Chain A
Amino acid sequence: MEYFLQQLINGITLGAIYGLIAIGYTMVYGIIGMINFAHGEIYMIGAFIALGTILAIGPVGAGAVVLAILLALLVAMMLTATYGWMLERVAYRPLRGAPRLAALISAIGMSILLQNYVQLTQGARVKTLQPLVAGGFTLMEHDGFEVSLSYMQILIVVATIALMTIFTLVITRTALGRAQRACEQDSTMAALVGINVDRTIALTFVMGAALAAVAGLMVTLYYGVIDFFIGFVAGIKAFTAAVFGGIGSIPGAILGGLLIGLIEAFWSGYFSIEYKDVAAFSILVLVLLFRPTGLLGRPEVEKV
């Protein structure tokens, strides 16, 4: 029971991070109908910027930790968003209207380029960070086994819920969100009502990148270890989460992220840690066999 609870907590934390990255995949897919394969790298860059900012701030007292994290969050979100914007500008916009395969190859190229860029400028060795947010609660103790919930885990889950709420409100309630949904559904008509479609697409990349930066900061703080390659696996997992939840759906992305996180945590907790990725992907395949549109995806039955 204790063990189960502990894995549940770990799984939810991990899942929240996947979910944050998955939102970027799902939003961009929604608006241009394409997987942004360089999104994992955007997340990785977010982690590096967050780490760099924290190291630049230097050691801070316990009272200033919150401020330092907020500053790192702000810097990481803004700079990573700039990368997201440039990525769209350089790799996607020139290929608008070209065959999908061209944009796909361009995205994979950007992914390799960004990886190498970080490897060259930051080095190939792992970067580490002393834990900034230490400690937590012990929820229960039994036969020498403790169930603990760290402050960091609380921070990750709370931040994810807050961001998901904000983003859902932006998309459902604001003029920007309305423009995004319009571009998603009919970009020609969107232009005909006066929406600047290119700008709306760019803003979607910016929003996705900013969320990936939050995930990058969280991972840096949670694990304290990053390298130039973390975007690859996390990207594939988050992409899987987006498909799992139903690509195009934001609640689906978070749900998919949580499920992938939980599957991973339980599988490595009860079976074997080596096969945790296989487990996640197998369950994905099973879900897609029975629900090709993902868990919260919308079945295509509409009169247009």
Chain B
Amino acid sequence: MLDLRGVETFYGHIQALRGVDLHVGEGEIVALIGANGAGKSTLLMTVCGKPAPRAGSIRFQGKELAGRSTHEIMRTGIAHAPEGRRIFPRLTVLENLQLGALTAAPEHFATDVERVFTLFPVLRQRSGQRGGTLSGGEQQMLAIGRALMSRPRLLLLDEPSLGLAPMIVQHIFRVIRDINETAGVSVLLVEQNAYHALRLARRGYVLVNGRITLSGEGAALLDNPEIRAAYLEGGARSDKAGTGA
């Protein structure tokens, strides 16, 4: 459904992606992990054309996205809950959701907003409140809800668990699994929390300095010693604890 081939992205002279190949299949959850500054957010934003790739191809459901403008790309069935949530701070929760629904048919609005409120009941209570006054967790829920309002076929999620309490993280991951299973939405998930991400995802990719260095089944990656050492904080800690004991 989404196919990246040889994608190169630059910020001025700085190259952030170096020939990235990546595939997300229909109905799949794919995790993308990597250290800070590896280029994970850049990869998701490049799919959306911000920045546009300088080389390579990005095909979505058979259509080439590279070179098209962002607002066109976002009308093809892709939604992005980007890094930092980017809630419109001086718009209400409801207005944020209305903007999410911009590319969807208006007749779906009532049912879709109801679905988001069912997934995240706290948003219903806050619907008249300005986005900027929500807590971090509420903002993350709103960011995902806003992305869902466009009825995407592919959902891009950039660190949805960042800075959230474990309970909320669990809730958000459950919602991601749920929309994948019930609505068949494909998900490309960037996560610091590699353990959670690789358990949720069918497959995963590891990005290092703008290059994909490893890929495979989520479970296999979880067992890979390199990954355990580099990205699984918990794993590394338990290893250390093991040697210390």
Contacts and interface: CB of A to CB of B under 8 A. Distances in A.
A186 B98 CA distance: 16
Nearest to B82: A192
Contacts of A302: 89-90, 132
B70 interface: yes
14 contacts: A178-B98, A179-B102, A182-B88, A182-B99, A185-B88, A188-B86, A191-B69, A192-B50, A192-B86, A193-B74, A194-B74, A195-B71, A195-B102, A196-B69
A194 B150 contact: yes
Contacts of B86: 186, 188-189, 192
A185 B90 CA distance: 7
Interface of B: 48, 50, 69-71, 74-75, 80, 82, 86-91, 95, 98-100, 102-103, 132-133, 146, 150
A196 B99 CA distance: 12
A304 interface: yes
Contacts of A304: 87, 89, 132
A193 B50 contact: no
Nearest to A193: B99
B50 A188 contact: yes
B103 A193 contact: yes
A191 B91 contact: no
Nearest to B75: A194
Given A181-B88, A181-B91, A185-B90, A193 B132 contact: no
B80 A178 contact: no
Given A191-B71, A192-B82, A182 B91 contact: yes
Contacts of B95: 178, 181
B11 to A, nearest CB: 12
A197 interface: yes
Contacts of A142: none
A303 interface: yes
A5 B74 CA distance: 57
B89 A191 contact: no
Lowest 4 A-B CB distances belong to which pairs?
A191-B70, A194-B74, A194-B103, A189-B86
A232 B215 CA distance: 63
Given A303-B132, A303-B133, A304-B132, A193 B150 contact: yes
A interface residue count range (under 10 / 10 to 19 / 20 to 34 / 35 or more): 20 to 34
A72 B74 CA distance: 41
Given A178-B95, A178-B99, A197-B71, A192 B48 contact: yes
Nearest to A301: B132
B176 to A, nearest CB: 18
Contacts of A181: 88, 90-91, 95
Interface string A177-219: 0110110011011111111110000000000000000000000
B71 A185 contact: no
Contacts of B69: 191, 196
A189 B89 contact: no
B88 A192 contact: no
Contacts of B103: 193-194
B189 to A, nearest CB: 17
B88 A186 contact: yes
Contacts of B50: 188, 191-192
B90 A193 contact: no
Contacts of B74: 191-194
Contacts of A196: 69, 71
Most buried by B among A179, A190, A194: A194
Nearest to B104: A194
A302 B90 CA distance: 9
Interface in A267-298: 298
Nearest to A302: B132
Contacts of B48: 191-192
A304 B146 CA distance: 16
Contacts of A194: 71, 74-75, 102-103, 150
A298 B130 CA distance: 14
